[in-house]
Chain A
Amino acid sequence: MTIPTEPIGSIPRPLELVEAVAKMDGADPALDSLYDEAIRDTIRRFEATGSPVITDGEQRKYHNFWTYCVHGLPNTAPDGFQIPFAAGHTRRMPRLTGGPFRYKRHADSYLDVAMRYARVPVKQAVISPSALSLMYPSEEIPGYSREQFIDDLLREHETEVRACLRKRAHKVQIDFTEGRLAVKIDPSGNLLHSFIDLNNLALSRFSAEDRKRIGVHTCPGGDRDSTHSSDVDYSKLLPSLFELKAGNFYIALAGEQDRVRVLKIIRDCIKADQRVFIGVVAPIDPRIESPEEIRDRILEAAAYIPIEQLGTTDDCGFSPFCDDTSTSRDTAFAKIRARVLGTALAADILGGG
């Protein structure tokens, strides 16, 4: 038997690309050759790890996993909310200044390029509607109501996911890192429930078959070897998370101190038609896990999660923000290789039993 294993998404960009993007607009056509080379190299090295499913390393999400689709919109201002990280730095979101809300670019355009080079299935990560909902300011935008915004947001998200599915993305993974952040900001859980509702409104638009290829990723938000919400207890998040009408869940676990406790929560919350991919490598940990270590974590998880509902993944992307060079490309691919090997080891054991 095999245990499915998939990456989350981002791989650190080549330094020359990071430097070039820092000097000019990331959408500048002059960077096309650098992007193309970075994507080609990422896919080549990804495939070399033996990973049965790969991504384009999000090389072309030149800003970050969160705002790639709205970066550069004329009806935005750069003074949106700040996302504080434990290491002390912040990341700031754009603020919507006027309607209508439209994506500047859709992630399926990245998929087009990746599919040209890839020889194994490619998954595509997209940002959740709940994350982008924070772009609308607290005050009402004259002439463009919050309700209109929510409608536009859901339609744009649906358009993006459908395009990825149609272009044969192996999975479409909705990044929902703000789930845990929502609990941190609003311990009452109201904010999280609101996020779940919003995302479910989007997911409801897809058939059950489509949802089998749609997943949701949650993590404490990694950036520069730091997180924004690792202090939030999974027990506050996971029961609500599994209410999402998605077929797959990618949950950071390697970085958790009490993995068993989390696994028990998952066991109690997961539905029959859902599969959970547990994080078995920690991108913010510079140490490269051994395949055996990973194998053991899977075996540990298998004690709580039915094997047919279990998969493995990375805790988080290796470089969700394009200028994050805290992890090298070599380290990222070494960790992925360890995940692939460790998963295979575990599968051998579990299959043999």
Chain B
Amino acid sequence: MSARDDEAARLQSVALENARSILQARLRAEEELVRAKESLELKTRELAYSLAMMHATLESTTDGILMADSNGQVTGFNETFVQMWRLPREFMDFRGHLQIAKAISQNFNDPQRFLGRIEEIYATSPPESYDLLELIDGRVFERFSRIQFVEDRNVGRVWSLRDITAHRQAQEALANQSERLRVTLASIGDAVITTDTQGRVASLNEMAESLTGWIEAEAAGQPLETVFHIVNETTRNPVESPAIKALREGVVVGLANHTVLIAKDGTERGIDDSAAPIRSSDGEVIGCVLVFRDITEHRRAEQALHRSERDLSDFFANASIGLHWVGPGGIILRANQTELDLLGYSREEYVGRHLAEFHVDLPVIDDILARLTRGDTLNEYPARLRCKDGSIRDVLINSNVYFEDGKFIHTRCFTRDVTDRKRAEEALRRSEARKTAMFETALDCIISINHEGAIVEFNPAAEQTFGHRREDVLGRELAAVIIPPAYRERHRKGLALYLVTGEGPVINQRLELSALRADGTEFPVELTVTRIPVDGPPLFTAYLRDITLRKQAEEELRERERQFETLAESIPQLAWMANPDGHIFWYNRRWYEYTGTTLEQMQGWGWQEVHDPDVLPSVLEKWKGSIATGTPFDMVFPLRGADGVFRPFLTRVVPVKNLEERVTRWFGTNTDISEQRRAEEQLRQLAADLSESDHRKDEFLAMLAHELRNPLAPIRNALQIVQLSKGDEQAVQTASEMMDRQIRHMVRLVDDLLDVSRISRGKIDLRRERVELASIIHQAVESSRPAIESGQHQLTVTLPPTPVYLNADPVRLAQVFSNLLNNASKYSEPKGRISLTVEQNGSEVTVSVKDTGMGIPSGMLPKIFEMFTQVNTSLERSQGGLGIGLTLVERLVAMHGGSVSALSEGPGRGSEFVVRLPIMIETPNTQQPSEPIVSEPTRKTPRRILVVDDNRDSATTLAMLLKLTGNETQSVHDGLAAVETAETFRPDVILLDIGLPKLNGYEVARKIREQPWGKSMVLVALTGWGQEEDRRKSREAGFNGHLVKPVDLDNLMKLLAELETQKT
């Protein structure tokens, strides 16, 4: 099936479904039609019944009735009519009314007048007409006709005749009463006319005469219509007098509306009247009284009322407010266009519908209907109506209820569309609520004033801040309440200026001013004044905030910033501050000094100028990262100084945050770490050096143990030889010499070691003197001779032709050259060549010691003078020594103002050490006399010598040596024993160790010197401490001499000889 066929099938399906519903609707319509037909039939039957009833009525009435259509064709009559005119019954068949009237006219004296009157009625078709007919036979008939309408259609005229002959006769009697009545009537304010039963004027009172223009005499007997000529105000048609009707019907009749009385002179007056039949005592009508009054004024009022009603009707149609009438049951009866336009319905859609169909809220419409049913009015009743387009309108309904004869007819409802107003009110209400809430709860003071400066609003915050109660200040002038006296006049002038020119320099500006509290204190406030946009005189609202605390805080902040800047200026680092976005606004003085820049160059991001371009990107990346995250910045990068040199700076930047943890600024420092870097480098180097030294020290200790152990073995062997070779003098001699060599070697090792230590610690003193270099060289060569000879080396010494004098310590210089010669010997193969050459070069002299030995690797040359350095430290290649000799050489030469350098062309190529020393310029007169050489005199008298040493072996062996050399000796081992023995032994000389138990050497010396017997004793200190300081202390304690262990016996003897010489 195609889509089109499918569509057609669906369409057919719908149509057929509809057809069923249409059929049902048709059936319903047909049923309604049947019901309508049945209803019509019922009505037809009812009509027939009504006709029958009417016919019966016609026949039963005493009046003669004739009915004719508008063309004058007789459509019905009753028998009374026929009988009244005494006509043949068949005469009535197929006759027109005029034909019948023509026959009837014969009963009158003036038949033509009667006929004319009938023709006039047909011609003019008055709704009603009346005539009094007097027949020739004396009967009097009243003739009355009225047009009949059925469903607004003119169906003809009914003519009725009434025989009033009997009534006429009664009028006679009535005349008698008329005079009395006339007098009575003359005195009343209303006009009164009485008539007889024929409607003829019987009397007029004065007011009636005045209004009708007729005097009674003229009017009497006149038909009332003549005297009381009234016409319809609008149509100008004659109007039947109510008196006539009252006569006719015997009831009280009011005048028809819109009736004008035409006076005899033609003047017209609106009248109001009533007529009543005058009855005889037996109730028979004998005349009529017509009472009327001039209601011209009343009529004017009525016309005004009619205009008002017409206006009301126009208002209904054209009113801008919606109007609708609601009938019983809530059906809308009527609605004006405004109402329809409001809701968008056509009249057909709205009128005739139930009110509830248009109301949104069911409870509301229930209530409205209940009220309307009770006849209540609605007053500004809010409701919501649904428009045709589905939208909803808010309306206010007012109503009034219209009753007729106490019966509810309808309610008039006025519908006022307040949708926009309601929305606006809702918006306004919300706005007011927000404003009130804001006003009441605002932390800021809100004060409003009017154009006269009087306070009209004063919120709770203002009460609290200013100490005034709102009710106390409302209406008072603002200036007098919160403005300090000094500013009041300015405020008043400013307000006046604004009112005149509309210009106000303070309007919408944020200002800081002083304000006045109720207690008279002034305080700072922040103020903003705005004009409230209202019609009429302006209103102003001021928003004030007590900024006392803020001001204090700002002052504290400024003070802190001053302190901070002072502090930042005082620190050695470069320092700066930046805004939260990284914009640097301040640098300390050191920054400008270092970089040589100005704030103008550097502020913001200008600092990039002094950065290394290669490093800058990483600095920017990290700095921007810190700004974004608020985290501290820590980085080392170079900054270019004013001298163009980049130096490393450690830069640290910390965020300064407020209480809300928000960054308020950045504080940064740049610390120059050039020196630190150098120190670190040095430290690293030092650590490396220490490591090297430590390594060399370890080697040294191993070497020291080795070097010290080497002599011990031969010494021990020699001792054993001495012990075993008793009596063998030669063997003892050889062993003794061997021991002496080994011990000297050990002493030299220890001396060198101590010397190096002393030099390192600055403890060594040079004993400078003028000395000839050649003697020093000679002494050195002698000292080294054993080693040179041992190696069978060939030593060549070359001296300059003229003596070279130095200001030097000859012992220490001899030690220098001896060490160099020993080294040359030590590192040279047996029979190698060693040369010592002295050359004078200007103001200095060079001493070169050169060998053909093993040489020095080039890598060793720079550190050959360092402590514990040896070219080859392997045991098998070891040449002995502690590796401190060259160190000692270098430092001693340096102490003499000279220098030493090592040269070598490499391993196996020999070495050369060159010492440069300043020479002393030779001046003949300054030559110092040489010291006399003191020699040991031969001692003939043995000395009494006390040896005191806590080292018993040392004390014993020294005492033995002295005894062997012819002296008397004793030895003790502590200080007290020394003093006691000295007193008893009374020695000549006491060799006293310093470090003694019980009493040290100094104390022993002092005690001995305190004794009379001790004053002349020779006291010699024997100690391991040989510095000048040590010597001074021993001198102060009373010692005569000072010797350093181990004591050489020759030196001891030489000293004792000198001391004894000095004593003598």
Smallest CB gap from B24: residue in A? A147
Given contacts A185-B15, A190-B19, contact A204 B29 (CB under 8 A): yes
Residues of B with C-beta under 8 A to A150: 18, 21-22, 25
Q: Are A191 and B15 interface neighbours, CB within 8 A?
A: yes
Given contacts A198-B22, A201-B26, contact A186 B14 (CB under 8 A): no
Min Cβ gap B408→A in Å is 29
Min Cβ gap A126→B in Å is 14
User: Binary interface profile of B, 1-45, with partner A (CB < 8 Å = 1, else 0)?
Assistant: 000100110111111111111111110010000000000000000
B508 beta carbon closer than 8 Å to chain A: no
Taking A186-B16, A191-B16 as known contacts, 7 extra A-B pairs with beta carbons closer than 8 A to each other, sorted by chain A number, are A133-B15, A162-B348, A191-B12, A193-B19, A198-B22, A198-B25, A204-B29
Give CA–CA (A198, B390) in the complex, Å: 28
**Which 7 residue pairs spanning A and B have beta carbons closest together?**
A194-B19, A146-B21, A198-B22, A191-B15, A138-B13, A138-B14, A133-B18
User: Binary interface profile of B, 117-151, with partner A (CB < 8 Å = 1, else 0)?
Assistant: 00000000000000000000000000000000000
Given contacts A74-B390, A163-B346, contact A138 B10 (CB under 8 A): yes
22 contacts between A and B (CB under 8 A): A81-B14, A133-B22, A134-B15, A134-B18, A136-B17, A138-B17, A146-B21, A147-B25, A150-B25, A154-B25, A159-B346, A159-B348, A162-B348, A186-B12, A186-B16, A191-B12, A191-B15, A191-B16, A194-B15, A194-B19, A198-B25, A204-B29
Residues of A with C-beta under 8 A to B18: 133-134, 136, 146, 150, 194, 198
Give CA–CA (A198, B17) in the complex, Å: 13
Q: Choose from A84, A108, A159 the contact partner of B7 (Cβ within 8 Å).
A: A84
Residues of A with C-beta under 8 A to B7: 81-82, 84
Min Cβ gap A291→B in Å is 40
Min Cβ gap B27→A in Å is 10
B388 beta carbon closer than 8 Å to chain A: yes
Give CA–CA (A204, B24) in the complex, Å: 15
A289 beta carbon closer than 8 Å to chain B: no
A151 beta carbon closer than 8 Å to chain B: yes
A182 beta carbon closer than 8 Å to chain B: yes
Residues of B with C-beta under 8 A to A133: 15, 18, 22
Residues of B with C-beta under 8 A to A106: 346
List B residues at the A interface (Cβ < 8 Å): 4, 7-8, 10-26, 29, 346, 348-349, 388, 390
Q: Are A134 and B14 interface neighbours, CB within 8 A?
A: yes
Give CA–CA (A82, B349) in the complex, Å: 31
Q: Are B22 and A201 interface neighbours, CB within 8 A?
A: yes
Residues of A with C-beta under 8 A to B10: 81, 138
Give CA–CA (A185, B8) in the complex, Å: 6
Min Cβ gap A183→B in Å is 12
Q: Are A182 and B15 interface neighbours, CB within 8 A?
A: yes
Smallest CB gap from A198: residue in B? B22
From residue 163 to 190 of chain A, which have CB atoms closer than 8 A to chain B?
163, 182, 185-186, 190
Give CA–CA (A204, B348) in the complex, Å: 18
Given contacts A137-B14, A191-B12, A201-B29, contact A163 B348 (CB under 8 A): yes
Given contacts A138-B13, A146-B17, contact A197 B22 (CB under 8 A): yes
Give CA–CA (A200, B23) in the complex, Å: 11
Min Cβ gap A147→B in Å is 5
Residues of A with C-beta under 8 A to B21: 146-147, 149-150
Min Cβ gap B35→A in Å is 14
Min Cβ gap A100→B in Å is 10
List A residues at the B interface (Cβ < 8 Å): 74, 81-82, 84, 102, 106, 108, 133-134, 136-138, 146-147, 149-151, 154, 159, 162-163, 182, 185-186, 190-191, 193-195, 197-198, 200-201, 204
Q: Chain A binding site: helix, strand, loop or mixed by DSSP?
A: helix
Give CA–CA (A147, B4) in the complex, Å: 28
Q: Are A197 and B23 interface neighbours, CB within 8 A?
A: yes
Give CA–CA (A278, B107) in the complex, Å: 69
Give CA–CA (A197, B22) in the complex, Å: 7
Give CA–CA (A198, B16) in the complex, Å: 12
Smallest CB gap from A147: residue in B? B21
Smallest CB gap from A109: residue in B? B346
Residues of B with C-beta under 8 A to A151: 25
Q: Are B14 and A136 interface neighbours, CB within 8 A?
A: yes
Min Cβ gap A163→B in Å is 6
Residues of B with C-beta under 8 A to A198: 18, 22, 25
Min Cβ gap A300→B in Å is 35
Min Cβ gap B744→A in Å is 128
Min Cβ gap B17→A in Å is 6
In the complex, which of the residues B16, B20, B25, B388 has the most CB atoms of chain A within 10 Å of its own CB atom?
Answer: B25
Residues of B with C-beta under 8 A to A82: 4, 7
Min Cβ gap B2→A in Å is 10
Min Cβ gap B3→A in Å is 8
Q: Are B23 and A194 interface neighbours, CB within 8 A?
A: yes
Residues of A with C-beta under 8 A to B19: 190-191, 193-194, 197
Give CA–CA (A61, B20) in the complex, Å: 31
Give CA–CA (A154, B18) in the complex, Å: 13
Smallest CB gap from A184: residue in B? B8
Give CA–CA (A163, B17) in the complex, Å: 30
Give CA–CA (A92, B831) in the complex, Å: 135
Residues of A with C-beta under 8 A to B388: 102
Smallest CB gap from A158: residue in B? B348
In the complex, which of the residues A81, A108, A149, A151 has the most CB atoms of chain B within 10 Å of its own CB atom?
Answer: A81
Smallest CB gap from B389: residue in A? A104
Give CA–CA (A39, B17) in the complex, Å: 40
Give CA–CA (A81, B19) in the complex, Å: 17
Residues of B with C-beta under 8 A to A190: 16, 19
Give CA–CA (A149, B25) in the complex, Å: 11
Smallest CB gap from B11: residue in A? A81
Give CA–CA (A81, B11) in the complex, Å: 7
Give CA–CA (A139, B11) in the complex, Å: 12
Residues of B with C-beta under 8 A to A197: 19, 22-23, 26
Residues of B with C-beta under 8 A to A163: 346, 348
Q: Are A194 and B22 interface neighbours, CB within 8 A?
A: yes
Min Cβ gap A160→B in Å is 9
Smallest CB gap from A95: residue in B? B14
Min Cβ gap A137→B in Å is 7
Residues of A with C-beta under 8 A to B25: 147, 150-151, 154, 198, 201
Smallest CB gap from A145: residue in B? B21
Smallest CB gap from A205: residue in B? B29
Given contacts A138-B14, A190-B19, contact A84 B4 (CB under 8 A): yes
Residues of B with C-beta under 8 A to A200: 26
Give CA–CA (A81, B12) in the complex, Å: 10
Give CA–CA (A193, B15) in the complex, Å: 11
Min Cβ gap A287→B in Å is 30
Residues of B with C-beta under 8 A to A195: 15
Residues of B with C-beta under 8 A to A74: 390
In the complex, which of the residues B21, B29, B346 has the most CB atoms of chain A within 10 Å of its own CB atom?
Answer: B21
Q: Are B349 and A159 interface neighbours, CB within 8 A?
A: yes
Min Cβ gap A146→B in Å is 4
Q: Are A185 and B11 interface neighbours, CB within 8 A?
A: yes
Give CA–CA (A193, B23) in the complex, Å: 10
Give CA–CA (A147, B26) in the complex, Å: 11
Residues of B with C-beta under 8 A to A186: 12, 15-16
Give CA–CA (A151, B32) in the complex, Å: 14
Give CA–CA (A190, B14) in the complex, Å: 12
Residues of B with C-beta under 8 A to A191: 12, 15-16, 19
Give CA–CA (A138, B17) in the complex, Å: 7
Q: Choose from B12, B26, B346, B348 the contact partner of A185 (Cβ within 8 Å).
A: B12
Give CA–CA (A112, B652) in the complex, Å: 87
Give CA–CA (A343, B464) in the complex, Å: 96
Q: Choose from A134, A193, A204 the contact partner of B11 (Cβ within 8 Å).
A: A134
Residues of B with C-beta under 8 A to A146: 17-18, 20-21
Smallest CB gap from B348: residue in A? A159
Min Cβ gap A176→B in Å is 14
Residues of B with C-beta under 8 A to A108: 346
Smallest CB gap from A102: residue in B? B388
Min Cβ gap A150→B in Å is 5
